[in-house]
Amino acid sequence: MSIIIPPSRAQHQRPVVAFAPKRGSYVTHKYAMFTPARRETRPALGETLMAITIVTPPASLPVTVAEAKTFGHIVDDDEDELIENLIAAARDHVEQATGRIMVATEFLLSLDCFPRNEVRLPRSPLIEVASVTYDDTDGIERTLSPTLYTVDTSSEPGWIVPTPTTRWPATYDGINAVRIQFISGYVADDNSPPDLAAHVPARAKIAVKSLVAHWYDTRTPISDKGWHVAPYTMDRLLNGLRVWRL
């Protein structure tokens, strides 16, 4: 009599996709989720590791303290500094959740190498690309001429791509060998001095003011009334602002 030994559970387990939060890459792991990607000096085919940082922060907040206080029916002037900090935190929350920048901000996108085709700039709307620098195969920093790439500021997210007769240059086999500085956000109006938040969508301003009012009224996650959550309309506001990649 033959005995059939069933295969182990691990053999039947389907591969899952784990997210490496620090570098923005996805890897396939056989047995467990949330296993960080192993850092390679050259990413796998079709994979580009990247990091994004702020070079120049926005020069103003998307809403004023007075606007936030009016929206939240706040009359006390003693906590204006707190409200200003809440506005900044709400702005960061909305921008991170949607990928949409309110007031013009300069970013640095770092890649380990150029991709095959376009480079998508993950903050919208794109105003301009300030510079594209890279380390050549000898490790020497070079600046790529703007005549060698095309910038699309109309799409969301915006992107750059080599001109039809060129290709991205070869780069040094190391970390952050490609660096792209770009500015995203809504442009200011023509007034003097300019209103930097003049063209920020009303939906975005309402989202910021709603969060400020909610955080001002609810200082802790738990109170004697139980859990407090932001209104359902907040999700609707954010969904209408999100930049979707097709």
Task: Name the strand (E) or helix (H) holding 226.
Answer: strand 226-227
Catalogue the long-range contacts made by 210-215 (C-beta closer than 8 Å, 24 or more residues apart).
Answer: 210/71, 210/234, 210/237, 211/86, 211/89, 211/90, 211/93, 211/94, 212/63, 212/68, 212/71, 212/72, 212/83, 212/86, 212/87, 212/90, 213/68, 213/71, 213/72, 213/74, 215/86, 215/89, 215/90
Task: Assess whether 95 and 107 both reside in one domain.
Answer: no
Choose the final residue of a domain: 161, 184, 207. 184
Asked if residue 87 is part of any domain, the answer here is yes
Average pLDDT of every residue of the chain: 80
Tally the domains of the chain: 2
Residue 192 has, within 13 A of its CA and on its CB side, a CA count of 0
Do 236 and 176 share a domain, yes or no?
no
- Residue 42 covered by a domain: no
Q: Which of 173, 235, 212 lies closest to 71, judged by CA?
A: 212
- Judged on CB neighbours under 10 Å (0-12, 13-18, 19+), 156 is buried
* Secondary structure of 55-66 in HEC code, one letter for each residue: EECCCCCCCCHH
Any idea which of 29-43, 113-127, 187-201 has the lowest mean pLDDT? 29-43
Q: Is 41 part of a structural domain of the chain?
A: no
Q: Are residues 111 and 75 in the same domain?
A: no
User: Do 91 and 149 belong to one domain?
Assistant: no
Please check the confidence at residue 5 and state whether its pLDDT lies above 50: no
Q: Identify which of 86, 133, 128, 89 has the alpha carbon closest to the alpha carbon of residue 105.
A: 128
Q: Measured in Å, how far apart are the chain's first and last C-alpha atoms?
A: 58
Residue 90 belongs to domain with CATH number: 1.10.3230.30
pLDDT for 129 equals 97
Q: Which helix (H) or strand (E) holds 90?
A: helix 80-98
Of 105, 124, 97, 122, the residue nearest 207 (C-alpha): 97
Handedness of CA 123, 126, 127, 133 (dihedral sign): positive
Residue 46 lies in a domain: no
Domain boundary (184, 201, 224) is at 184
Instruction: Indicate whether 233 and 172 sit together in one domain.
Output: no
| Residue 77 and residue 135 in one domain | no
Give tens-digit pLDDT for 175-232: 999 999 999 999 888 887 788 888 999 999 999 999 999 889 887 766 555 445 555 6
Pair (117, 148) in one structural domain: yes
Q: How confident is the model at residue 40 (pLDDT cuts 50, 70, 90)?
A: very low
| Residue 35 pLDDT greater than 50, yes or no | no
Query: pLDDT digit string (tens) for 61-90?
Result: 999 999 999 999 999 899 999 999 999 999
| Same domain membership, residue 178 and residue 79 | no
In a domain, 162, yes or no: yes
Question: What letter represents residue 17's amino acid?
Answer: V
Q: What 3-state class would DSSP assign to 206?
A: helix
User: Which residues span the domain enclosing 110?
Assistant: 103-184
Residue 23 covered by a domain? no
Asked if residue 50 belongs to a domain, the reply is no
